[in-house]
Every structure is written in C-alpha cells, then in structure tokens.
C-alpha cells in the first residue's frame, strides 16, 4: 500500500496535468532581484526553471543586481543615490555598475549550467542566450534630478528574441540597455521584464519578491486581482509598500497590454514558482486583465470537465447519473462556471414542449469553491434564461439539498405538479422531493 506522501504526490501530479498541457510552448518572463542570488537561492530556483524548460516552456529570465551594485559602488568610493526608488547612476560610476551586473549574470549562468547526477539538474539542457536585445534611452531629469546613466527601455528586438526562443534557448536579460550611439544605460529589472513580456505577448510575467504577494488591510494575501482591482489597490494610500510599489504597477501595465497573466511570488519559498504555476490555489498574487471567473453557455468541449465535476455527486446519490452520450446530446442545455479555464460549476435548464414550466438540473459546484455564492450565481443564470423564454415556473428535484432551494424561494410541491412528460419519467425508487419557484 502506498505511503501517504506517495498518495499526495499522485494527487498533486494529476491536478498539475492540465497546466502541463496548457504551458507547453508558452512564453514566460521570470524576473528576480540580485538579492535572490546574494542569498544563495539561485540553485533552488534553477531546479524549478529546469522543470519548466523540461515541460516545454519558453523562458525569458530578467535579473537585477541592486545589492551587488551597492557593494561595488561602496568599494569604489561612490554613494548609492535613489530617486523614487530608482538608482541615480553617475556617468563616471558606470564601470563598477557593469562589473556588479556581470558578476550576477555569471553566477546565474553557472547555476543554470549544473548537471549533477542524482539531482534535479541531472541531464538538464538549459542553453542560456544573451544579446543586445534592449535599446535604451536616458531617463533624463526627474523632479530636478539628473538621472545621468540611468535609462529606460526604448525598444525590444522581438524578432531576435523569438528566434532564439524557437531554437530552444533560454534568454537571460540583464538590467542594461544600449543606445544607437553606443552608450550603455543602467535599467530597472521591472522595466526590462515588463517591456520584454509586452513585446513578446508573453503568457506570463512573474516577479519574485520579498513579500508573499499583495496583502490587504486585514493582513490577508489576495490571491487574485483584476487589473482594475489592482489599480484601486495602488491608488489607496498606505497600502502599497516595499517592492510591491514597483512590481504591481508593472503587472497592471503588462496585462493591460496583452500579457496573459502576471504573478507576484515570494522569493523565500522553496518551490514557490512551481506551486504558483501548477496548483489551482497558488501561493502568491495573480493579476489578470479580466475576472478569472466566467459564466457561459457550455460547448461540446466542456463535456469532460462537467463529467469530472458531477461524477462524485452522482456516486454519492446527490445527482442523477448521466453518461457521456446523454450529456453530449444535452450539452446545449448546460451552462458552466469557469475559473481560470477550469470548470468549477455547472447547471442545466430543461424545457418541456407545451408547458410553461422548466427544470433546473445538474446544479453542481466544485467542493473547493462552495463558499463564494457560486451556486446562487448559477441559479440566477437559469432563472434569467427561463424568464427570457417566457416561462412561468421553475422546478427542481432533489434528495439532499432541499433547504438550500427553500432558502432561495422554492416551495415544496407534489409529483402531480410536474409536466406530464417529467411526471412519466419520475423515479419512485429515488423519491426525489419536488420544489417549485414562480418566476
């Protein structure tokens, strides 16, 4: 008999399967600061990155080097000055800045090149590529402060980057950019990462940071935010702090300009990147352009998802059994509630020719999502559809959830109240209770 750990692993691996299929061939931009390298966490991150590469994900890595630059400047006798969190890079101090960035880059490439047997990097094939993909321009003067050799992204060489990604190479971008006149500029990692993600129309932009994600005023982690919700959070004084202040606005910018999802994940959690990407709950904050949950009419492609949702309830006797053929024939009667491409709820509306009554059937919500009013949302959808069809009454047959329906306006009724066709099919062995609701 397998151990509990083995059972949990199999369960997790099965849950991860849809993401493994969905991520193959996708482009992810992963950004992290120099503090992750300084704190010797690059090796564990390399293990996670190798897993993504093995699964066919196209990776663009963007690194920072703030603590390393601070140290080099101090050694060279320069002060570290910042304007609104952005380094003021003195022109005559660019040499130690480049040395620090080069040092960090070499350490990252070293970690990605490991291939020790009996380790997560065994047989790893991460080919790291770099290049002058980023054209930069000076930031100029901000609030009276000359930013000197600090710059911002002007253009991204998308064609060259895509060419390297198509050859299976992992791109490593440093926070540097070059001007057409040959000048070099010190950039922020968030600007490089966001600009690259937008230019590539990446599927994900991921920032690894000190915080676990976006925290609300009650100290609770916000797992999901739309761009509009994130903007409201940024606008509320006193709620934005630390590196969230830099990364969250860039997440908003990214999803507003075509990036599929943006993620904020703690850099301190070993395996946090994989946990965020391959579990439905995640461990950080995910930002999307639109709400992740949608209620829509079902299609034939949803049959498998609906069956997976309702089969446990059928086995428990809560719902009447439906085989795949029947579900395929009746699929146009169903609506599904989808959360980030996973079906978490379903309901059907059955009409009867010559009757002003309709049946609400197959109402199901995934156990992990039953406390958020989703069942009620499915019920309201069916009621709206019934009213659109000018029906007068809605009925439901249930064995376990009578109180739930009563609380939402349904009243007990007799079997004789059902439409003739439904009454003829009534299962007297199951003895479901009948409830009606006037529309």
Domain boundaries of the chain, sorted by first residue: 4-291, 294-438
pLDDT tens per residue across span 222-249: 888 989 889 888 876 454 457 888 899 9
pTM (two decimals): 0.75
Measure the N-to-C terminal CA separation of the chain; round to a whole number of Å: 54
Please indicate whether residue 117 or residue 220 has the higher confidence score (pLDDT).
Answer: 220
pLDDT for 284 beyond 50 = yes
**pLDDT confidence of 1, banded at 50, 70, 90?**
very low
Token pair of 149, please? Answer: 């050799």
Residue 352: exposure state from Cβ atoms within 10 A (0-12, 13-18, ≥19): middle
> What kind of fold does domain 4-291 have according to CATH?
Carbamate kinase (3.40.1160)
The rounded Cα 220 to chain-centroid distance in angstroms is 18
Please indicate whether residue 106 or residue 115 has the higher confidence score (pLDDT).
Answer: 106
Q: Which of 422, 416, 424 is nearest to 353 (CA)?
A: 422
Percent of the chain with pLDDT over 70: 95
- Determine the average pLDDT of the residues in 260-265: 96
b/e string for 246-273 if b means 16 or more Cβ within 10 A?
bbbbbbbbbbbeebbbbbbbbbebeebb
**pLDDT confidence of 120, banded at 50, 70, 90?**
low
DSSP for 367-426 reads: GGGTTSSHHHHHHHHHHHHHHHTT--EEEEEESS-HHHHHTTT-EEE-GGGS-HHHHHT-
Question: For residue 438, what are the contacts with CB-CB under 8 A and spacing of at least 6?
Answer: 392, 393
Q: Which of 97-106, 232-241, 257-266 has the lowest mean pLDDT?
A: 232-241
What CATH number matches the domain at 294-438, 3.40.50.300, 3.30.530.20, 3.40.630.30, 3.40.50.410? Answer: 3.40.630.30
Can you give the pLDDT at residue 123? 60
Please indicate whether residue 374 or residue 5 has the higher confidence score (pLDDT).
Answer: 374
Ramachandran bin of 135, using left for φ above 0, alpha for ψ from -120 to 50, beta for the remaining angles: beta
Backbone angles phi, psi at 55, to 5 degrees: -90, 5
Give the span between the Cα atoms of 139 and 150, in whole angstroms.
6
pLDDT for 115 beyond 70 = no
**E strand intervals along 199-341:** 204-209, 224-226, 261-266, 285-288, 293-297, 334-339
Instruction: Count the alpha carbons within 13 Å of 262 in the hemisphere toward its beta carbon.
Output: 34
Please indicate whether residue 206 or residue 374 has the higher confidence score (pLDDT).
Answer: 206
Angle between helices 94-112 and 42-54 (to 10 degrees): 60
CB 338 within 8 A of CB 356: no
pLDDT for 8 beyond 80 = no
- Determine the average pLDDT of the residues in 84-91: 89
Please indicate whether residue 307 or residue 341 has the higher confidence score (pLDDT).
Answer: 307
Question: For residue 310, what are the contacts with CB-CB under 8 A and spacing of at least 6?
Answer: 319, 322, 346, 362, 364
Give the span between the Cα atoms of 266 and 59, in whole angstroms.
19
Ramachandran bin of 351, using left for φ above 0, alpha for ψ from -120 to 50, beta for the remaining angles: beta
Q: Which of 110-119, 182-191, 360-369 has the lowest mean pLDDT?
A: 110-119
Can you give the pLDDT at residue 122? 55
Token pair of 438, please? Answer: 């006037």
Can you give the pLDDT at residue 99? 95
Please indicate whether residue 127 or residue 5 has the higher confidence score (pLDDT).
Answer: 127
**pLDDT confidence of 266, banded at 50, 70, 90?**
very high
Can you give the pLDDT at residue 325? 86
- Determine the average pLDDT of the residues in 75-101: 91
- Determine the average pLDDT of the residues in 270-299: 88
């Amino acid at each position: 008999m397998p151990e509990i750990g083995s059972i949990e692993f199999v369960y997790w691996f099965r849950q991860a399967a849809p993401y493994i299929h969905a991520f193959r061939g996708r482009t992810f931009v992963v950004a992290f600061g120099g503090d992750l390298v300084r704190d010797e966490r690059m090796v564990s991150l390399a293990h996670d990155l190798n897993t993504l590469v093995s699964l066919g994900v196209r990776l663009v890595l963007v690194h920072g080097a703030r603590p390393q630059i601070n140290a080099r400047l101090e050694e060279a006798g320069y002060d570290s000055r910042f304007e609104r969190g952005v380094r003021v890079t003195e022109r005559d101090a660019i040499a130690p800045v480049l040395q620090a960035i080069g040092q960090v880059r070499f350490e990252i490439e070293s970690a990605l090149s490991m291939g020790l047997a009996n380790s997560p990097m065994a047989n790893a094939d991460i080919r790291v590529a770099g290049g002058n993909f980023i054209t930069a321009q000076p930031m100029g003067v901000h609030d009276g402060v000359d930013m000197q050799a600090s710059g911002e992204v002007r253009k991204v060489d998308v064609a060259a980057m895509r060419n390297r990604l198509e050859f299976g190479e992992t791109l490593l971008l440093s926070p540097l950019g070059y001007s057409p006149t040959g000048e070099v500029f010190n950039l922020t990692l968030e600007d490089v990462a966001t600009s690259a993600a937008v230019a590539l129309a990446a599927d994900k932009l991921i920032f690894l940071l000190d915080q676990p994600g976006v925290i609300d005023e009650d100290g609770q982690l916000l797992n999901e935010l739309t761009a509009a919700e994130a903007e409201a959070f940024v606008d509320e004084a006193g709620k934005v702090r630390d590196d969230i202040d830099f990364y969250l606005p860039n997440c908003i910018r990214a999803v507003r300009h075509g990036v599929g999802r943006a993620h904020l994940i703690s850099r301190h959690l070993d395996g946090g990147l994989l946990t965020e990407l391959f579990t439905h709950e995640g461990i950080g904050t995910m930002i999307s352009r639109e709400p992740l949950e949608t209620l829509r009419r079902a299609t034939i492609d949803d049959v498998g998802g609906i069956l997976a949702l309702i089969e446990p309830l059928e086995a428990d006797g809560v719902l009447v059994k439906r085989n795949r053929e029947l579900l395929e024939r009746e699929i146009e009667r169903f609506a599904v509630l989808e959360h980030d491409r996973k079906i978490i709820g379903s309901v059907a509306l059955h009409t009867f020719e010559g009757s002003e009554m309709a049946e609400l059937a197959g109402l199901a919500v995934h156990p992990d999502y039953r406390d958020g009013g989703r069942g009620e949302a499915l019920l309201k959808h069916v009621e709206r559809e019934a009213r659109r069809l000018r029906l007068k009454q809605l009925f439901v047959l249930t064995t376990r959830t009578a109180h739930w329906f009563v609380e939402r306006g349904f009243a007990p009724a007799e079997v004789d109240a059902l439409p003739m066709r439904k009454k003829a099919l009534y299962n007297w062995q199951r003895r479901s209770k009948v409830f009606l609701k006037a529309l």
